Structure 1
Amino acid sequence: MRIAPRTTLTTLAVAALTAVSLQTPAAADAEPAAGPDPIVLVHGWNSSGSTWDTMADRFTADGWPATHLDQWTYNTSQSNVTTASQLAEEIDRVLAATGATKVDVITHSMGGLSSRYYTKNLGGDAQVDAWISLGGPNHGTDTANLCGDTSCAEMRPGSTFLNTLNSGDETPGVSRYATWWSPCDSIINPDSSVALTGATNTETACLSHGELRTDATVYSQVKAFVG
């Protein structure tokens, strides 16, 4: 058997080590594919985070980690301004816990108002990638005359809160905005209250107010928007 000269072996060894060293930085620099933004789900008046169970289960089935689905609960009788401040703290908590830089915010009904206040007045537009309103009383609803909480007064058409919230740009900052509204929603009157200038506004099939959270078609559209 012919044995290669020492100099040849040395040359081969150096070449092999050089090849490894050239590959190592590339491997070290490789980063895992970024996952989806965490989603903060904000319920409406007289409700709780559990109202999102159906939608959260669907997101889980479609690959969102449980740590990235926050079914937040808050006191719905208080002013939406107070809720907005608490939402800011909750989003900071979610970002810290997940290591993400932005969240997606999906809201139902009155939940759209505090979250819009957050994006417009509390710097939230820098932390929210996609904002979604399902049946939100963005320009008020007559049914808010039937309840007496501070938050209810703010939902009435022409309230000081809504006039201020809707003044100027309705979809400020770098966030992406979308709304869904149903012609059969008896809670939001008029139906036109939901749509926002500058947002992607979608009319659904004949759905009740609550079905906006659970309808499979609406979910698919919402998932495509946040995705």
Structure 2
Amino acid sequence: MRRAVLLAATMLTCLYAPSAGAAPFERHDGVVAPPGANDWNCVPTPAHPLPVILLHGTWDNQNAWNVLAPRLAADGYCVFTLNYGRDSSSVLGSQPRHYASGDIAASAREVGEFVDRVRTATGAARVALLGHSQGAVVARQYVRFEGGRHKVGKLISLVGTNHGTTQRGLIDPRRVETPLSPERIVMGFTGIAAYQQLVGSEFLRELNADGDTEPGIAYTVIASRFDDASAPPEATFLAAGPGATVDNVMVQDLCPSDRYDHASLPQSPTVGYIVERALDPGYRGNPC
């Protein structure tokens, strides 16, 4: 049990709180959408035809995008955010401002309803999904199993837990899981979504069983050498399957001085640059 408590604390550190030396990270309650987001009268332009939907990570909320959303809106994108995955059955999930603790498949269906609302409001046939951490996995679940394949043109994964996390080595993916495993015990503290993101989980095995990608979608996958959730950081990368393209990008290959960690990466100017290039290959700017 003591190890289970330690595991829970480490999960909280790895997937939620920034590490020492990280960029400033400010929490908000998620009640109000970020500046520039959720303008339901926004009409996509020929230059930026895909509405951009931003998906936060585990125990976070839509205010994770308070930096990136206004940047994209100022550049002419229709930007949308939501809080998803509220589940108060766990200790962390019951806390104010904490979302994305519930079952990832259910969250993907929730996101799917939001995608349809955005498509109806904007008249766009497809959208671009940008997911941070769990948000990337939710997006991939949506396009693979929840009817999103023909509704998404681009999918951007920001340090997505695409192949799981070992929580700084505390989880041994070779160990046989039992009902009394520390992972199972700790689920009541963290919520099922955190459990589903562990290396070797049944959820991730099913998600990745037929490859990493879906045909017809352009993927951009962003990793950082200061990511303290995926180990190694390249574990977030995806392999392109038939009919899909994948651009795997390491933040420090563009800006060696970028030290934003897993939780604070949505605030990184380098990430903003990569996202803008993914949405518009003709974008010019300074990655640092």
Given the two structures, how large is their TM-score scaled by the length of structure 1?
0.80
Is 2:134 the partner of 1:124? Answer: no
Q: Deviation of residue 35 (structure 1)?
A: 4.2
What is the deviation of 1:149? 1.0
Q: Given the alignment of the two structures, is residue 137 of structure 1 paired with residue 130 of structure 2, yes or no? A: no
Moved more, 39-48 or 216-225: 216-225
Corresponding letter in the other structure for 2:262: H
CA distances 1:170-220 after superposition (whole Å, capped 9, x unpaired): 111211111111111112233232101012111112431133211112211
Match of 2:79 in 1: 69
One of 10, 22, 46 as aligned partner of 2:59: 46
Tell me the secondary structure at the aligned position of residue 106 of structure 1. strand
Query: Which one-letter code corresponds to 1:159 in the other structure?
Result: S
Conserved in 2, the CA contact under 8 Å of 1:40 and 1:71?
yes
* Cα distance between partner residues in 1 of 2:134 and 2:48: 29
Query: Is 1:108 matched up with 2:155?
Result: no
Match of 2:249 in 1: 202
Residues in 1 aligned to 2:236 and 2:210: alpha-carbon distance in whole angstroms: 17
**Structure with greater contact order relative to length (CA < 8 Å, sep ≥ 6):** 2
Identify the residue that residue 153 of structure 1 maps to in structure 2.
195
User: How many residues matched?
Assistant: 193
Structure number with higher helix proportion: 1
TM-score of the two chains, using structure 2 as the length reference: 0.64
1:56 — aligned with what?
A: 69
Paired position in structure 1 for 2:111: 87
2-structure distance, mates of 1:44, 1:193: 17
CA spacing shift, 1:33–1:180, aligned 2, 3 Å: closer
From 209, 216, 220, give the equivalent of 2:269: 216
Distance in 1 of aligned mates of 2:250 and 2:156: 14
The residue identity in structure 2 corresponding to 1:134 is L
Provide the aligned C-alpha RMSD in A: 1.7
The equivalent residue for 2:225 is 183
Query: Is contact 1:141–1:190 with CA below 8 Å preserved after alignment?
Result: no
Q: CA deviation at 1:88?
A: 0.8
Q: Is the 8 A contact 2:130 2:157 kept in 1?
A: yes
Q: Report the AA paired with residue 221 of structure 1.
A: I
Match of 2:112, SS? helix
Identity of aligned residues (%): 30
Distance 2:160 2:73 in 1: 24
Partner of 1:96: 120
CA separation in 2, counterparts of 1:139 and 1:225? 22
User: Which string of whole-angstrom CA distances, capped at 9 and with x for unpartnered residues, describes residues 145-181 of structure 1?
Assistant: 5753111110010000000111122111211111111
2:161/2:197 contact within 8 Å kept = yes
Greater CA radius of gyration, 1 or 2? 1
User: Match for residue 170 of structure 1?
Assistant: 212
Structure 1 gaps, min length 5:
1-31
Deviation at residue 117 of structure 1 after TM alignment:
0.6
- AA partner of residue 176 (structure 1): A
Q: In structure 1, what is the Cα distance between the partners aligned to 2:141 and 2:235?
A: 16
